[in-house]
Structure 1
Amino acid sequence: MTVHHVRAALRGAQRLGLDTVPLLQRARIPPLLLADDRARVSPEQFARLVRALHRVTRDEFLGLGTIRSRPGTFAMMCYASLGCPDLGTAVERGARFYRLFPGGPNLALERGASPGREAVFALRGGLGPHEGGLTAAEGHIVAEWLMLIWHRLAGWLIGRRIPLLWAQFAYPPPPYAEDYEPLFGCPPRFGAPRTAAGFDRRWLTAPVVQDEATLQTLLRYAPAGLLSRGEYGTTTVAEQVRHALTGALRTRGGPADGPRARRTARLPELPEVAARLAVSPATLRRRLSAEGTSFQRLKDAVRRDEAVSSLAEGAEPIADLAVRLGFSEDTAFHRAFRRWTGTTPGAYRHETWSQQI
């Protein structure tokens, strides 16, 4: 997650006059990172921050709405949706539930009238730019969060990931626009008339498969967990490549006393990933290009996210982390990490762990 997300999440607490430094410390996010536009935090750090903000603001919208959304509102919406026979009914009920509250998000499900038309989930208003005292940039991030939570909750309800055909946003590209495609699974369009996403209408007839027992598990970390969690399955080639690269990075092997390059799992190259996906390297390159990305871009993104998570969460030696990420020299890793985050690996780890209380 980018530092822009962290700043926006804190905005409501700041508006309420709360001291945000202890909140950042609980999440193990160095306050100094907020000054660097290139800085990033791990999904775990961000989820901890959102949970801490929920507790202190007593507001599921983190103080960013025109009115407070009391803790438990999201849970009751989920309970109301569980009794529905299919996804379409569940989404419409959830959207209707939130429209009962003044100042809540005005969400809507639009079903295509003619055969073959896609369904559209749209944000018609509420918690958008300039609402509740938000700046335009903060409102854009809240709109993004609402769409992400809806998309991932819908997938959870039916136990399947729902591929989006398109996603559009009613604002210019933000500084972190390149992160939208991996978040939503499709190339984004900015400067659109409204914020919305389209998907195959057949998903609306998929049965709701969750129950109250599985909902309790979801609610332990929701809605923060829905912002930082992975998807349900993989569908796009880019997602499959990211999954293969991430899995390889987190699989350790080799004897502890062996050569350093063999003590940790090696990041696979394109031919290896192509073989794992049962396609030729040329086909994999072509399919990734058709999805608007490349193997190198995905590799860099996975390296960056794994580096941030490792430095924030564990005690893995930086030299070993560099090898695991596929860097031949420590200095190359240091240069790449500074390019990604604006600081060095050692400084990032020091600042992060100094926040523990």
Structure 2
Amino acid sequence: MAMAKRTITVHHVRALVRGARRQGLDTVPLLQAAGIPPLLLGDDRARVTSAQFALLFRALYRATGDEFLGLATAPSRPGTFAMMCHVSLGCRDLGAAIERGTAFYRLFPGGPELGLRCEGGEAALTVGGGLGDEDRFLTECLVIIWHRLCSWLVGRRIPLLRARFAYPPPPHRDEYAGLFGCPVVFGAEATEAAFPAHWLTAPLVRDERDLDEMLRRTPFELLSRRAYGTTVAEQVHCVLARALRVSPRLPSLGEVAARLAVSPATLRRRLQREGTSYQRLKDTVRRDAAIAGLAEGREPVAELAARLGFSEDTSFHRAFRRWTGTTPGAYRGRGS
């Protein structure tokens, strides 16, 4: 059994299809082809698997003919991102590559306001307003893609110090720490991802062949979520997800604390500081595994419940309704 990846909130699915609807496209067949029933978009607590989201993303990328998926005030023709990468590849270091890449996008009217801020020992990739994406999905995608592209260029993951967003926290604010692998602040003066400035002098280690290989998988490859393990919550989530892969019994908080070489009280305090708890992370791991199992549709609900550590079907149904607002049967019906 493969380890279930994190599921994705329906808020991101809604944002993703908004651009296609702006272009007058019928999104129902696109959603159905990705195994996402359109009715799911009306449930605020609904979630989809990463595989479903990837299918939808790629389908919308093709259907809109726009690298910005119809979400910006002006389209970005297919091939624009690839050309920017080619332009930046020959630079002496990462700082020069960022400057060249941001200058490239400034050539296009209505394009994103990308920039680089340097102050003291800190650098930040900035994304200005004016994109026109009311859900801020495109803005957040640009922050993620630019950070991961920079990491790819230097061949090492650049650890983020923080991510800041110039708008109020959305209903799904709990998603962001795992998405960015760092502390996240809303209501800031600017939208940016900050990292230690010494990375700007890192040499680029990629060549044209590497770039061609990366571009065959882009942009979703750069956008897809990675478990960085840089927050305590991510470390605990990883331990729990691996444990569930081999046994329905999840380790206790004390067992996880011992594995991370801290006391139970310290682990509890650090999770609280990150806005979560051990029980919430256990629920998240089981919820994501349940949604993945139901989406695949091959495993009877009773067997799925037992595999996730529930002794009775009724307790699994109650937990699933608490997680998603609906029943396992209805969820499977939606995904069929």
* 1:334 paired to 2:317: yes
Q: Paired residue for 1:161? A: 157
Report the Cα distance in structure 1 between the residues aligned to 2:73 and 2:329, rounded to whole angstroms. Answer: 41
Q: Paired residue for 1:75? A: 82
Q: Paired residue for 2:169? A: 173
Q: Paired residue for 1:57? A: 64
AA in 1 matched with 2:230: T
Secondary structure at 2:127's aligned position in 1? strand
1:44–1:228 CA contact under 8 A, matched in 2: no
AA in 2 matched with 1:246: A
AA in 1 matched with 2:20: A
* 1:206 paired to 2:210: no
AA in 2 matched with 1:60: E
Q: CA deviation at 1:21?
A: 0.6
Q: Paired residue for 1:190? A: 186
Match of 1:308 among 291, 296, 305: 291
Q: How does 1:86-97 map to 2 (within 5 A)?
A: 86-97=93-104
Aligned length: 329
TM-score when scaled to structure 1? 0.84
Query: Are residues 77 and 35 of structure 1, via their aligned partners in 2, closer, same or farther at CA, if it must alter by over 3 Å?
Result: same
Q: Paired residue for 1:258? A: none
CA deviations over 1:280-308 (Å, ceiling 9, x no partner): 33333333334343222222222222222
* 1:282 paired to 2:254: no
TM-score when scaled to structure 2? 0.89
Q: CA deviation at 1:14?
A: 0.9
Secondary structure at 1:248's aligned position in 2? helix
Secondary structure at 1:125's aligned position in 2? coil
Q: CA deviation at 1:153?
A: 2.3
Q: Paired residue for 2:220? A: 224
AA in 1 matched with 2:125: F
Query: Are residues 172 and 48 of structure 1, via their aligned partners in 2, closer, same or farther at CA, if it must alter by over 3 Å?
Result: same
Q: Paired residue for 1:268? A: 251
Structure 1 segments (4+ residues) deviating >4 Å: none
Report the Cα distance in structure 2 between the residues aligned to 1:79 and 1:48, rounded to whole angstroms. Answer: 27
Report the Cα distance in structure 2 between the residues aligned to 1:157 and 1:326, rounded to whole angstroms. Answer: 42
Match of 1:119 among 111, 119, 123: 123
Q: CA deviation at 1:108?
A: 0.6
* 1:234 paired to 2:229: yes
Report the Cα distance in structure 2 between the residues aligned to 1:220 and 1:228, rounded to whole angstroms. Answer: 14
Report the Cα distance in structure 2 between the residues aligned to 1:271 and 1:311, rounded to whole angstroms. Answer: 31
Query: Are residues 279 and 320 of structure 1, via their aligned partners in 2, closer, same or farther at CA, if it must alter by over 3 Å?
Result: farther
CA deviations over 1:305-346 (Å, ceiling 9, x no partner): 222223223523323332333333322222222222222222
AA in 2 matched with 1:125: G
Query: Are residues 281 and 73 of structure 1, via their aligned partners in 2, closer, same or farther at CA, if it must alter by over 3 Å?
Result: same
Deviates more, 1:333-342 or 1:167-176: 333-342
Report the Cα distance in structure 2 between the residues aligned to 1:343 and 1:190, rounded to whole angstroms. Answer: 30
1:238–1:291 CA contact under 8 A, matched in 2: yes
Report the Cα distance in structure 1 between the residues aligned to 2:334 and 2:148, rounded to whole angstroms. Answer: 32
CA deviations over 1:6-61 (Å, ceiling 9, x no partner): 11111111111111111001111011101111111111111111100011110011
Q: Which runs of 5+ in 1 are unaligned?
A: 253-263
1:267–1:324 CA contact under 8 A, matched in 2: no
Q: CA deviation at 1:179?
A: 0.9
Secondary structure at 2:281's aligned position in 1? helix
Query: Are residues 246 and 152 of structure 1, via their aligned partners in 2, closer, same or farther at CA, if it must alter by over 3 Å?
Result: farther
1:88–1:204 CA contact under 8 A, matched in 2: yes
Q: How does 1:311-326 map to 2 (within 5 A)?
A: 311-313=294-296, 315-326=298-309
CA deviations over 1:182-218 (Å, ceiling 9, x no partner): 1112332222222122221122223333333443443
1:111–1:119 CA contact under 8 A, matched in 2: yes
Aligned-pair Cα RMSD in Å: 2.2
Match of 1:345 among 320, 328, 335: 328
Query: Are residues 95 and 332 of structure 1, via their aligned partners in 2, closer, same or farther at CA, if it must alter by over 3 Å?
Result: farther
AA in 1 matched with 2:57: V
Q: CA deviation at 1:265?
A: 5.0
Report the Cα distance in structure 2 between the residues aligned to 1:330 and 1:19, rounded to whole angstroms. Answer: 38
Q: Paired residue for 1:36? A: 43
Report the Cα distance in structure 1 between the residues aligned to 2:251 and 2:279, rounded to whole angstroms. Answer: 12
CA deviations over 1:143-164 (Å, ceiling 9, x no partner): 2222122222222223333222
Report the Cα distance in structure 2 between the residues aligned to 1:277 and 1:34, rounded to whole angstroms. Answer: 38
1:186–1:291 CA contact under 8 A, matched in 2: no
1:161–1:234 CA contact under 8 A, matched in 2: no
Match of 1:100 among 97, 101, 107: 107
Secondary structure at 2:251's aligned position in 1? coil
